Amino acid sequence: MTSPLLTVDSVAKSFQSPRGDSTPVIRDISMRLDPGEFVSVIGPSGSGKSTLFTLLAEQTEPTSGSVTFHGDRDPKQPFSAYMPQKDLLFPWLSVEDNAALGLVLRGMSKRQSRERIAELLPTFRLEGRAKAYPFELSGGMRQRVALLRTVVQDRPVLLLDEPFGALDYLTRTELQLWLADLCAEKGLSVVLITHDVPEALFLSDRVYVLSNRPATIRMVLEQDAPRPRTLDYLETSEFKHNERVLLSELTESTRLGEGI
């Protein structure tokens, strides 16, 4: 069995109210990410997915349990790069400067960072757009710029928080296909939060299903179909079976009101 790149062991997180009350958000969550794997986390709204991501992104500490990165890393840098739901592009910066922002903040010169971005623009289907500004881009292009800004940081783990949730169906499908190819080509190690069951199944090796708050792992679904997958996968018996299983788990969790 492959040694994991990232492990989450029995993690719990609670928050203190001004009155001193403790509110548990997640409890006893364990998961793993192997090198080159694509893992998705789905669950009811408000279940604690974003809280889990803040732990994976080292933005906060767990109340108990541990999040451990097992690979090589620069101890001065986080092991993950985080892409939030919104693209958060600065309107006064060009595509190349938005994408290079993380590199510049780490001390790379503007010239070097632009050269690095220029090498990757074709991979992200942004050739000819280096000098464009966000208002000149489609929603799909803006998301590709945001993902380029995330990937170019060369962190071992990518954390994607519903990156395509605000896009229309056709654009979202196009970007899912593109992301599937990109991750397979570059061997990226990814954790994705999504509400979209077909998206999770199309992209992932493994899907973790969270309960209602305080969130626990209701089930773990492993997928054997090799990546990257084509749209034909959506018509297979494996996909349809797995979709029913995940929807059943999510519906049952919401119906039971677990943790409320």
pLDDT tens readout for residues 196-221: 999 999 999 999 999 888 889 999 99
In angstroms, the CA 14 to CA 106 distance is 32
Per-domain boundaries in the chain: 1-79+168-260, 87-154
Q: Is 19 exposed, middle or buried (0-12, 13-18, 19+ CB in 10 A)?
A: exposed
DSSP symbols for 26-95? EEEEEEEE-TT-EEEEE-STTSSHHHHHHHHTTSS--SEEEEEE-S---TTS-SEEEE-SS----TTS-H
pLDDT tens readout for residues 2-30: 789 999 999 999 988 777 788 889 999 99
Q: Given this model, what pLDDT does residue 218 score?
A: 92
CATH of 1-79+168-260, one of 3.30.1360.70, 3.40.50.300, 3.40.50.720, 3.60.21.10: 3.40.50.300
The tokens describing 154, both together, are 């060369």
pLDDT classification of 255: cutoffs 50, 70, 90: low
Q: Given this model, what pLDDT does residue 257 score?
A: 55
In angstroms, the CA 194 to CA 192 distance is 6
The residue length of the chain stands at 260
Query: Beta strand 6-16 with 22-33: parallel, antiparallel or unpaired?
Result: antiparallel
Q: Given this model, what pLDDT does residue 138 score?
A: 92
| The model's pTM | 0.90
